């Protein structure tokens, strides 16, 4: 290698060729074990180096021929695999780079040659330019489509103004019938699909409401039942209390029916009206019996030796009340 | 088809003078002839495909034919390698533009947009094709109405963008002199550059908001379709050939994409197999000699 470099001497190798050589030299060292081949290698390399020089010159000539207008052309070389990744590099292989051509002046020239006459009125070409560049994330579908929609909307509104300026018919009148791009049958299918969609949405909405209403309704039902039971119990309690209080009426044939009814009403109602004791119709004797000698009526014994043989029942009212109380009490007991 | 083409070529060669004159007529820049008359935009587009198109590509072509009244649809081109026949075909049909859909491997679609006599040609890769048939595209427009063209600002920022804008104006813009053109403006075609690709949309222009039939007139848009995305690959100086004037560095061929995916998938298998081999070799290395007290040594 060093002999070679010396041999080249002043000619030398420019950076590109040197880089290539070093890359190739590195690879070939790995592969070749025989020293006998070294001479051959050097010869080949010598040849290759000179080839490269020639190639370089040829390339330059070609470039000059092609680009007579001094165009920008980046190095035109194609690469299939990266040189670092290559496992086996042929000694004669030349590293290339991907083609990237951007020939601005040529494109401008071509465009001018095909350009429409700029004096053509707008109505000939109907071109609108959107003054903003679209800058949305490509993968964000909604915003991307919104950006395109905005572009089109602006174009349409600007075009309307331009059309009125040029007296160009813009809006299609409603009585203008002509063949459309999509057939009527197709539009019917589109309409049907839209209807189906909206119907499906409505149906699912209704079902959801029903489901929730049912849950809610179940709760309401349960609450109602509970309330009913509670009020029943309440009534029973009140009646029981009333019966206990009114036991003295059994023994009292003069018991007032109205008084009992009034008492029942009071018990049932939530707000018992405060009234007087039935207009004080109770006589002096009854009063004495009831309240005299320490209030005998209530606090006296009832199931005594005498009372077991005493079959003298009280008035019909008292007995009925008691019977009612007895039966009601029994019912209340089982129900509760 | 090939033999018919040869005869046609012969005829075209014979009637070359006539053909050339017609091409000259259509050349708008020829000021001497049209100076006394009012200058008009005369464009005709030849629309054809190669063999091996799928139904979606075919529907796209039909949609374009319906939208653009100055388009002439032709039968399939026999060979993909002899693209030089296309300028002659265009001459035969008096077209000065061509839209050529090239289908490869029944899955990739490439679109060539070219100006005919010796104009530039743009090769693009078409993706995300949605045709007008899709029921989600609910708009409709007059067949043959001249559509507005809306270009993004990004078209004016690069040189290739300006060239592409010019070519698309000629191809997708309906000239006033087209025979089947209808008077009113119904729809708008938008071209936007995003992520160095060209996105195409087609909207119908509605005067009133469809939800409020009695409200004030406000413009709304409904999509008609079709919609697709074009990735420019190369721009050539001549029609279907010639020097490359622009090449897109960000274009990755679909075949390369597919092979990269497959390589990724193969990596898993390779990694697993390598791990298995390594485990095996490790096992062998760690194998110890038979113990002196092993059964086979003690009991002969």
Whether residue A100 is contained in a domain is answered as: no
> How confident is the model at residue A66, as a pLDDT?
41
- In this predicted structure, the answer to whether residue B2 has a pLDDT above a threshold of 70 is no
Residues of A (169-198) whose Cβ lies below 8 Å from B: 169-172, 176, 178-182, 186-187, 189-190, 193-194
Nearest one of A58, A163, A183, A72 to B159, comparing CA atoms: A72
Q: pLDDT category, A50, cuts 50, 70, 90?
A: very low
Q: pLDDT category, A315, cuts 50, 70, 90?
A: low
Q: Residues of chain A with pLDDT > 70: what percent?
A: 55
Q: Do B215 and A77 meet the contact criterion of CB atoms below 8 Å apart?
A: no
Q: pLDDT category, A320, cuts 50, 70, 90?
A: very low
Which residue ranges make up each domain of chain B? 45-256
pLDDT in tens, A90-100: 777 666 666 78
Closest CA in chain A for residue B116: A114
CB of A98 less than 8 A from some CB of B = yes
Q: Under an 8 A CB cutoff, do A149 and B203 touch?
A: yes
Whether residue A208 is contained in a domain is answered as: no
State the Cα–Cα distance between residues A13 and A6, nearest whole angstrom: 11
Whether residue A145 is contained in a domain is answered as: yes
Which of B159, B170, B247 lies nearest to residue A104, judging by beta carbons?
Answer: B159
> How confident is the model at residue A100, as a pLDDT?
82
Cβ contacts below 8 Å, chain A against chain B, sum to: 193
- In this predicted structure, the answer to whether residue B19 has a pLDDT above a threshold of 50 is no
- In this predicted structure, the answer to whether residue A4 has a pLDDT above a threshold of 80 is no
Whether residue A287 is contained in a domain is answered as: no
Residues of A (135-174) whose Cβ lies below 8 Å from B: 136, 138, 144, 147-149, 151-157, 159-160, 163, 168-172
Whether residue A209 is contained in a domain is answered as: no
Lowest mean pLDDT among A201-205, A217-221, B49-53: A217-221
State the Cα–Cα distance between residues B221 and B105, nearest whole angstrom: 37
Q: Under an 8 A CB cutoff, do B152 and A130 touch?
A: yes
Which domain range does residue A149 map to?
1-9+106-172
Measured between alpha carbons, how far is residue B52 from residues A246, B5, B56, B105 in Å? 107, 19, 12, 7
Which three-class secondary structure state does DSSP give residue B101? strand
Whether residue A315 is contained in a domain is answered as: no
Q: What is the mean pLDDT of residues A82-105?
A: 71
Residues of B (86-115) whose Cβ lies below 8 Å from A: 115
Which of A100, A159, A181 lies nearest to residue B148, judging by beta carbons?
Answer: A159
Which of A152, A168, A182 lies nearest to residue B188, judging by beta carbons?
Answer: A152
DSSP string, B30-70: -HHHHSSSPP-----EEEEEBS---HHHHHHHHHHHHH-TT
Q: Under an 8 A CB cutoff, do B246 and A189 touch?
A: no
CB of B128 less than 8 A from some CB of A = no
Q: Which CATH superfamily is domain B45-256 in?
A: Brix domain (3.40.50.10480)
Whether residue A165 is contained in a domain is answered as: yes
Specify the higher pLDDT residue, B201 or B213. B201
Whether residue A118 is contained in a domain is answered as: yes
Q: What is the mean pLDDT of residues A251-275?
A: 65
> How confident is the model at residue B291, as a pLDDT?
82
> How confident is the model at residue A97, as a pLDDT?
65
Number of domains in chain A: 1
- In this predicted structure, the answer to whether residue B145 has a pLDDT above a threshold of 50 is yes
Q: Under an 8 A CB cutoff, do B245 and A101 touch?
A: yes
Specify the higher pLDDT residue, B117 or B283. B283
């Amino acid at each position: 290698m060093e002999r070679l470099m010396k041999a080249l001497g002043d000619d030398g190798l420019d950076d590109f060729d040197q880089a290539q050589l070093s890359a190739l030299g590195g690879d070939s060292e790995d592969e070749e074990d025989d020293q006998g081949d070294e001479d051959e290698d050097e010869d080949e390399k010598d040849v290759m180096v000179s080839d490269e020089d020639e190639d370089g010159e040829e390339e330059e000539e070609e470039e000059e021929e092609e680009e007579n207008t001094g165009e920008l052309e980046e190095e035109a070389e194609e690469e299939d695999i990266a040189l670092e990744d290559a496992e086996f590099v042929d000694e004669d292989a030349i590293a290339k780079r991907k083609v990237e051509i951007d020939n601005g002046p040529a494109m401008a020239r071509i465009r001018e040659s095909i350009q429409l006459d700029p004096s053509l009125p707008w109505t000939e070409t109907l071109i609108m330019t959107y003054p903003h560049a679209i800058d949305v994330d490509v993968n964000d579908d909604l915003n991307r489509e919104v950006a395109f929609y905005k572009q089109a909307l602006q174009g349409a509104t600007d075009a309307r103004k331009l059309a009125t300026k040029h007296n160009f018919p813009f809006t299609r009148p409603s009585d203008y019938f002509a063949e459309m791009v999509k057939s009527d049958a197709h539009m019917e299918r589109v309409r049907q699909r839209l209807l189906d969609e909206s119907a499906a949405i409505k149906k699912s909405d209704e079902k959801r409401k029903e489901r929730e209403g049912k849950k809610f309704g179940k709760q309401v039902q349960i609450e109602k039942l509970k309330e009913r039971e509670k009020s029943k119990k309440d009534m029973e309690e009140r009646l029981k209390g009333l019966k206990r209080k009114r036991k003295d009426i059994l023994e009292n044939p003069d018991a007032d029916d109205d008084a009992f009814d009034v008492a029942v009403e009071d018990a049932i109602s939530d707000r018992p009206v405060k009234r007087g004791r039935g207009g004080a119709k109770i006589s002096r004797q009854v009063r004495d019996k009831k309240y005299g000698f320490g209030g005998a009526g209530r606090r006296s014994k009832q199931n005594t030796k005498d009372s077991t043989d005493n079959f003298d029942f009280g008035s019909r009212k008292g007995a009925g009340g008691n019977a009612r109380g007895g039966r009601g009490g029994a019912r209340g007991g089982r129900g509760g | 088809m090939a033999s018919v083409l040869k005869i046609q070529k012969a005829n075209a060669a014979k009637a070359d003078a006539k053909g050339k004159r017609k091409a000259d007529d259509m050349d708008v820049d020829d000021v001497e002839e049209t100076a006394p008359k009012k200058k008009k935009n005369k464009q005709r587009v030849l629309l054809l495909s190669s063999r091996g198109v799928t139904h979606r590509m075919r529907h796209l072509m039909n949609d374009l034919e319906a939208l653009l009244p100055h388009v002439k649809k032709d039968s399939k081109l026999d060979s993909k390698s002899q693209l030089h026949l296309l300028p002659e075909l265009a001459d035969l049909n008096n077209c000065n533009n061509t839209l050529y859909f090239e289908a490869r491997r029944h899955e990739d679609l490439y679109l060539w947009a070219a100006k005919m006599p010796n104009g530039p040609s743009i090769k693009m890769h078409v993706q995300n094709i949605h045709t007008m048939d899709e029921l989600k595209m609910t708009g409709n427009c007059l067949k043959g109405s001249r559509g507005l063209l809306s270009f993004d600002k990004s078209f004016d920022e690069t040189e290739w963008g300006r060239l592409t804008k010019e070519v698309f104006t000629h191809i997708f813009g309906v000239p006033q002199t087209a025979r089947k053109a209808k008077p009113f403006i119904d729809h708008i075609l938008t071209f936007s550059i995003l992520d160095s690709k060209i996105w195409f949309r087609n909207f119908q222009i509605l005067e009133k908001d469809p939800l409020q039939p009695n409200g004030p007139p406000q413009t709304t848009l409904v999509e008609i379709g079709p919609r697709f995305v074009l990735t420019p690959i190369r721009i050539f100086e001549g029609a279907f050939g010639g020097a490359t004037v622009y090449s897109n560095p960000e274009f990755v061929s679909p075949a390369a994409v597919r092979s990269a995916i497959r390589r990724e998938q193969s990596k898993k298998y390779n990694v697993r197999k390598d791990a298995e081999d390594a485990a095996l070799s490790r096992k062998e290395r760690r194998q110890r000699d038979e113990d002196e007290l092993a059964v086979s040594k003690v009991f002969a």
